Amino acid sequence: MRKHAIIQNAQRTTRASEFQMSSEDFPALPGTQTTRDGASPGSGVGGGGPANSGTPAGDKQQGQQQQGQGDTGTATGGTGTPNRDAQGDKNGNNKGIQTLPDGRVTNIPASMVSDQFGIVGLLTFIRAAETDPNLVSLALGQDLTALGLNLNSADNLYPTFGGPWAEHPLRPQDVDYHVPPEYLINHSIRDKLASMKLSRYKDDLLFFMFYNSVGDVLQIAAASELYSREWRYHIEEKVWITQVPGMVLIEKTATYERGTYYFFDAQNWRKVAKEFHLDYSKLEGRPVMNQNLHLSS
């Protein structure tokens, strides 16, 4: 037995002398912090024991400590748990990062980034979302499949979706549809169409073009022709107004005038006459027309 023990000690000494580790072999990563609160650089998440020295003597000392701790653990129940961990559990020292009720975070390893942009900040945010439902969408996000979206669809989910900044869905003429080539005749007839004679149209047709061609060049063209006929668009009232022919103004200054005007009621599609105080600064100016358009007034 004695001879066997001497051979084992010699083998351990030989293995310890073959492997040597220095701090140059594993340099510190960027963002690591210095040791705080007197903790050793080798302490883990739970604030473990002293670090290995990287020398044969340190390995031998660690082996002796582990052997002694294993014997103690076997005597107490065969679990092999070190005495210092048992004492730490008795003292109430929990392993891992701890989040206190007042929002403070403790037991952060020295090698971990401790600001709000690291894993500690993310962990704190996720734990806060467990008690505050308003933070779930920010911390964990939303499951799009739970919102009724068929993400496996090869086609557009909403063909009339105009974009995140659009106030209204796409109009039928704005939706991109696949049609046979026989229907694509714009390139062959666009230069053969007669120019529009807006000056020949009545006010009723111009109003129809204005209210039914929203966002189209025809709306601007109709507005320009109405402006030429002494109609003015009121920015606040959102209506077209014009002075009643033959009626004398009650009051007129450099900034406003007061009299009887026609208002075009788009809901009932008629002209309504009433007395009104007209402020010049609240009237829309003349629309600017593109000279390349095939429109004629």
pLDDT tens digits, 88-112: 444 445 667 777 777 677 878 887 7
pLDDT tens digits, 266-286: 999 999 999 999 999 999 999
- Distance CA(58)–CA(245), nearest Å, equals 107
The size of the chain, in residues, is 297
Sequence ranges of the chain with CATH classification 2.30.30.1020: 196-296
The pLDDT of residue 109: 81
N-to-C CA span, the chain: 118
The pair of three-digit structure tokens given for residue 118, joined into one six-digit string: 């690291």
Q: What does R_g of the chain's alpha carbons equal in angstroms?
A: 42
The Cα angle at residue 270 between residues 268 and 276, in degrees rounded to 5: 105
Assigned CATH for 196-296: 2.30.30.1020
**116 or 10, which is more confident?**
116
